[in-house]
Chains A and B, each alone.
Chain A
């Protein structure tokens, strides 16, 4: 499976500022995803980021608050803008692996190590 890294691994930020989280994959993948995991909760999909097109956001998430870039097939960023304490969460990126036999996706998502964000 693909190896995924995220930067930063954790950060403590002040209210009103923005933080950009990077997700790097060691192979080319078509589909990348960003999730939020609030304290003690399960994962919620923020958006799907495909290279060459605008990200698709889930209900409750908007581009102005969570702008996403996907400049190539191995990299994506998520920005958490104008942060408030309610944005304190773990943010995870995931990718759908590509089956080398036929080039399509495996319909299985693998996750990065996550970024723990605390907003004061």
Chain B
């Protein structure tokens, strides 16, 4: 069974600074995907970034990048040049390819951005 662990219930960052959110996962599968979703107070779940497990190169999307350490089963999210609009709950999630397509979420990290 897949599990996803986010050990930081809350984080804060100053505007324009960089913050890293941690995530570890456990799966016995060799093919899987990892995701970071953002949920602002509006409650809409927004896809931030996606990483295929077979790719060694870390995914990047503008100010968002990941540090994917497959052997350590670690998948952290780095937010550069933090903006007030980045304040939200961030959920790490994993999905096993070719299986039940079940997306398993961590408990989330609440990010506060201070002006």
Residues of B in contact, count (CB < 8 Å): 21
Structural contact, B105 and A42, CB atoms closer than 8 A: yes
Task: Give the interface size bracket for A toward B.
Answer: 20 to 34
Which of A20-28, A62-70, A111-119 lies on the face that meets chain B?
Answer: A111-119
- CB-based nearest A residue for B32: A107
Q: Is B44 an interface residue (CB 8 A)?
A: yes
Q: Is A73 an interface residue (CB 8 A)?
A: no
Bound-state CA distance A1–B101 (Å) is 18
Structural contact, B43 and A107, CB atoms closer than 8 A: no
- Please indicate the chain A residues that have their CB under 8 angstroms from the CB of B35 in the complex: 108
Q: A37 CB to closest chain B CB, in angstroms?
A: 8
Structural contact, B103 and A45, CB atoms closer than 8 A: yes
Bound-state CA distance A37–B15 (Å) is 29
- Please indicate the chain B residues that have their CB under 8 angstroms from the CB of A1 in the complex: 47
Given A43, A58, A108, which contacts B91 in the complex, CB threshold below 8 Å?
Answer: A43
- Please indicate the chain A residues that have their CB under 8 angstroms from the CB of B91 in the complex: 42-43
Q: A5 CB to closest chain B CB, in angstroms?
A: 11
Given A42, A43, A48, A116, which contacts B101 in the complex, CB threshold below 8 Å?
Answer: A48
Q: Can you add 10 more A-B contacts, CB < 8 Å, to A42-B105, A96-B101, A110-B47?
A: A48-B101, A92-B45, A94-B45, A107-B33, A107-B97, A108-B33, A108-B47, A113-B43, A114-B44, A116-B43
Residues of A at the B interface (CB closer than 8 Å) are 1, 31, 33, 37, 41-45, 48, 56, 58, 90, 92, 94, 96, 105, 107-111, 113-114, 116
